[in-house]
Structure 1
Amino acid sequence: MIILGLDPSLSCTGWGVVRADGTRLSHLANGQLPTNPKTPMAERLAQLHDGIAAVIAAHRPDRAACEEVFVNENPQSTLKLAQARGAVLTACGGAQLSVNEHAARLVKKAVVGTGAADKKQVAAMVKVLLAGTTIAGADAADALAVAIADAHLVRRF
């Protein structure tokens, strides 16, 4: 089972692809899709959509997993996150991929053991679980964590 993990963000969307064989996980790929804040919103969303569509075409995952939207204190930030998430999920839908959605706290708990883990703890545990993997950055580490959590939380392989 190949799982695409997604950490959507308008500024930089992380993605990670893992293979789950029973309880055994192996890294296939990861990366980040940054967008320029000076670029018009519609173009940034198209970049995210097209970037994830290319990842799907290249790695042919069996399913995807994405963090659920969380509400920020800043409503504008929440709206931008939701728009980026919509572009990414549309790419998944266009490829007929089912998408499992997981709360960020649940992902952290599944990977680190506590739902209150910070980004550094998540990245460190991803490096342990996928030993020898070069991770493209913090957003890619978060996306790999989503894929890892999905493999453990949804046993359909």
Structure 2
Amino acid sequence: MNVILYLSLLLSCCLYAGVRGGLPERIGVAILLTAVLASQVMPRIAFQGFKTIETGLLVVDATMFVCVVILALHAQRYWPMWMAAVLLNTVVTHLLMLSPALWPWSYSVANAAWSYPNPIILAVAAWRHRARVQRYGEDPPWSRPLPSGG
């Protein structure tokens, strides 16, 4: 996939969501950017050239999936569920590499292709948040309170 295209999409969508979104959208931006940075570190540690399961990337994607599911359980938004569904597909793509018939090229392309929807989901979420604030005067971020630290 085109790295410049993805990074442009990622940065523009995350910047928009970070500035125009509510707290759940900003947390989503933090999760996404942290995962992207971690994905750059993990391959240097144990990169296999997509010949076998990329365990480093699998760990990053699975952790991101868990974080977004936790966000979906607390946020009064639908978008985290959409993002969790995309991330579940990403995790399953890694597990498909258990099949010896899967070619490394198709594994790498499928893994990269599932990265594109997430920034777009965040940008649309921020746009919808802004629309709800304009229409109703507020947009409550949480459907249930977050656990307190003390």
Compute the TM-score of the two structures, normalised by the length of structure 1.
0.31
Structure with greater proportional strand content? 1
Compute the TM-score of the two structures, normalised by the length of structure 2.
0.32
Report the structure number with the largest CA radius of gyration. 2
